[in-house]
């Protein structure tokens, strides 16, 4: 097991390196001079040279790349052009809010999807099954940048039950978490259903029924446990997409996470901070995927790399 | 189309294509015409979806918006599909180091969430329709390439491929005339779901202000402008959102229907 964890961690490294390289190349392939983009075209020559030096743009590309990677690995991710504070301290301030949001959204998604998927599989072909599956297709098609404003209108404006935006209390977490988790719940319920139907058709289920177990025990103790494996994998993969989706949700609800930070820094053309936010989301995605693989291996020892 | 959802999908997609082509004759008003006496006017007989902040007719803007959404969707899926199929065919058929390089590149691309990738590239480019198409194609081809590579690896061992080669067919002919037609089914199904995905991501980018330029009637940008006046005039965001939902649902239904249709004919007809 320890061997596997080490091997999986080593596999994640080249992917992170590739992600960092991609972001580096993106910044250096911007059409036009980044200094022009940041300062505007009428800037003074002195200011331009100073900024160009500060960003290291006057050095050859390869040495810039080396310095970039060295900085990343030693924890020096550069400084914000806006307030000159280290990029990492900005990120640290905002990371907590995004993690809380993503975890709660995942909880919402799983809490809706697993009961719905299991129920639909047990009643396969019935009216409720079909209704649930059409509902989930509709759910996949709802853009979260539309669902969010609609939820605000209904629950915050009309009913006045929940705050409109910001992060004051736990109540302000409910609408963002639901907005972010909803699309995922639709997808997960389809997956749970398919996996459950697959397991219910297997021999061991017939055996369990034949030895006189209650239908409840057959479904929950036998089929459900095995049906959960593919669901765990997808849940792990989707944590990363939730982090990316949080960019939109945070913007709608003014939630002070990495996504809001990213959008603010894009609007301010604060490229070091933009780069930091993108990298931190990408790295989190890679790490979560690696952890999921390890968990999956722990749950189902048959899995090999 | 045998399934009900498949039929609904065909109907929705057909209606949208017609709306996009005949937008100038269907739309009741000029989508850019401003009338400040009608700012934020709610739905009425003459303007069924109401008017936006500049008094522009929302229904007309939504109808013209189909051109943007479908246009970007079809361009992205078309370019990604052609590029991806070519790469996938070559990688899967030749194997060896070409295939290994491809697998590595694909793994790197897939190690990013798609939307983050789009935001990352868009952050460094100026908003324009062609930039949105480029951004979505950079990653879009990978899905088709992986799909086609997998199919090519299986199909290249089949007798009809050996037969074609034995008769002296050139590699390009084997790939395009023998292998490719046999994998069209899954590629078409993927393209339908792909259109739904591309339209969703384009709207999301435009919502964030990273997609099409502001004056273009894109549904995502319309929702964004609407959220600024959410309390005053909710109809500004509600109707464009319903339009996005309808399109995405249409292509998802179509994809579902095509999957049932194409996989069952494949069983009946044989490869």
Q: Which residues contact A97 (CB under 8 A, 6 or more apart)?
A: A167, A250, A255, A256, A257, A258
ipTM: 0.81
- Picking from A137, A248, A278, the nearest residue to B208 by CB comes out as A248
> Which tokens hold the place of A260?
């809001």
Band (A33; pLDDT cuts 50, 70, 90): low
pTM above 0.90, yes or no: no
> Smallest Cα–Cα separation from B193: which of B146, B248, B138?
B248
**Nearest Cα residue in chain A from B121:** A26
Given a cut of 60, is residue A305 above it in pLDDT? no
Question: How distant is the Cα of B199 from the closest Cα of chain A, in angstroms?
Answer: 10
Q: Tell me the H-state helices in A123-170.
A: 127-141, 144-151
| Residue A86 per-residue DSSP state | B
Instruction: Report pLDDT digits (tens) over A42-86.
Output: 777 777 777 777 777 777 878 888 888 888 888 888 888 788 888
A142 touching B, CB under 8 A? yes
CB contact under 8 A, A244 and B116: yes
Mutate to test the interface with B, among A22, A130, A141 (most CBs of B within 10 A): A141
Look at B214 and A106; give whichever has higher pLDDT: A106
Mutate to test the interface with B, among A244, A262, A281 (most CBs of B within 10 A): A244
A26 touching B, CB under 8 A? yes
Question: How distant is the Cα of A215 from the closest Cα of chain B, in angstroms?
Answer: 31
Given a cut of 50, is residue A188 above it in pLDDT? yes
pLDDT at A177: 92
Q: Which residues contact B268 (CB under 8 A, 6 or more apart)?
A: none
Burial-class residue B7 by CB neighbours within 10 Å (0-12, 13-18, 19+).
middle
pLDDT at B88: 92
A247 touching B, CB under 8 A? yes
CB contact under 8 A, B245 and A26: no
- Picking from B108, B208, B245, the nearest residue to A18 by CB comes out as B108
- Rounded Cα distance, A251 and A184, in Å: 19
Q: Which residues of A touch B224 (CB under 8 A)?
A: 145
Instruction: Report pLDDT digits (tens) over A200-222.
Output: 888 888 888 888 888 888 888 78
pLDDT at A52: 76
Question: How distant is the Cα of A221 from the closest Cα of chain B, in angstroms?
Answer: 32
- CB-CB contact of A281 with A98 (8 Å): no
Stretches in chain B below the pLDDT threshold 70: 263-271
Q: Tell me the H-state helices in A142-210.
A: 144-151, 171-200, 203-210
């Amino acid at each position: 097991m320890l061997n596997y964890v080490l091997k999986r961690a080593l596999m994640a490294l080249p992917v992170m390196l590739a992600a960092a390289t991609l972001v580096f190349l993106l910044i250096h392939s911007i059409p036009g001079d980044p200094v022009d983009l940041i300062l505007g075209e009428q800037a003074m020559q002195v200011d331009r040279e100073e900024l160009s030096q500060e960003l290291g743009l006057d050095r050859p590309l390869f040495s810039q790349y080396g310095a970039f990677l060295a900085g990343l690995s030693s924890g020096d991710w550069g400084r914000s052009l806006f307030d000159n504070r280290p990029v990492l301290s900005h990120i640290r301030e905002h990371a907590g809010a995004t993690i809380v949001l993503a975890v709660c959204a995942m909880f919402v998604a799983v809490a809706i999807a697993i009961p719905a998927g299991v129920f639909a599989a047990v009643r396969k072909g019935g009216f409720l099954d079909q209704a649930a599956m059409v509902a989930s297709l509709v759910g996949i098609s709802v853009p979260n940048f539309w669902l969010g404003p609609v939820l605000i209108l209904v629950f915050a404006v009309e009913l006045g039950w929940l705050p409109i935006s910001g992060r004051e209390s736990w109540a302000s977490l409910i609408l963002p978490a639901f907005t972010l988790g909803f699309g995922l719940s639709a997808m997960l319920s389809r997956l749970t259903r398919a996996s459950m139907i697959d397991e219910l058709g297997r021999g061991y289920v017939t055996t369990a029924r034949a030895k006189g177990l209650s239908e409840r025990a057959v479904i929950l103790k036998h089929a459900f446990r095995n049906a959960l494996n593919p669901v765990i994998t997808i849940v792990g993969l989707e944590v990363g997409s939730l982090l990316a989706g949080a960019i939109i949700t945070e913007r709608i609800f003014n939630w002070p996470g990495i996504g809001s930070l990213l959008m603010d820094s894009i609007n301010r053309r604060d490229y070091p901070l933009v780069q930091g936010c993108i990298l931190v989301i990408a790295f989190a995605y890679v790490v979560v995927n690696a952890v999921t693989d390890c968990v999956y291996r722990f749950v189902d020892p048959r899995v090999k790399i | 189309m045998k399934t009900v959802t498949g039929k609904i999908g065909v109907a929705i997609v057909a209606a949208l294509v017609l709306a996009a082509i005949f937008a100038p004759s269907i739309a009741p008003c000029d989508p850019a015409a401003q009338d400040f006496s009608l700012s934020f006017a709610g739905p009425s007989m003459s303007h069924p979806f109401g008017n936006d902040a500049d008094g522009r007719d929302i229904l007309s803007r939504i109808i013209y918006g189909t051109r943007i959404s479908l246009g970007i969707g079809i361009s992205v899926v078309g370019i990604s599909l052609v590029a991806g199929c070519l790469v996938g065919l070559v990688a899967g058929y030749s194997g060896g180091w070409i295939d290994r390089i491809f697998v590595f590149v694909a793994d790197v691309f897939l190690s990013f969430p798609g939307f983050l990738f789009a935001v990352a590239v868009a952050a460094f480019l100026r908003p324009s329709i062609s930039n949105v198409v480029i951004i979505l194609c950079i990653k879009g081809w990978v899905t088709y390439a992986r799909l086609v590579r997998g199919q090519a690896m299986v199909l290249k061992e089949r007798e009809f491929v050996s037969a074609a080669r034995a008769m002296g067919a050139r590699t390009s002919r084997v790939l395009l005339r023998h292998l490719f037609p046999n994998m069209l089914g899954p590629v078409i199904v993927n393209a339908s779901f792909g259109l739904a995905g591309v339209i969703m991501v384009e709207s999301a980018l435009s919502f964030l202000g990273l997609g099409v330029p502001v004056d273009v009637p894109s549904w995502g940008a319309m929702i964004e402008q609407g959220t600024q006046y959410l309390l005053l005039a909710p109809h500004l965001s509600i109707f464009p959102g319903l339009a996005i939902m309808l399109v995405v649902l249409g292509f998802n239904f179509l994809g579902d229907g095509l999957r049932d249709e194409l996989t069952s004919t494949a069983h009946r007809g044989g490869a």
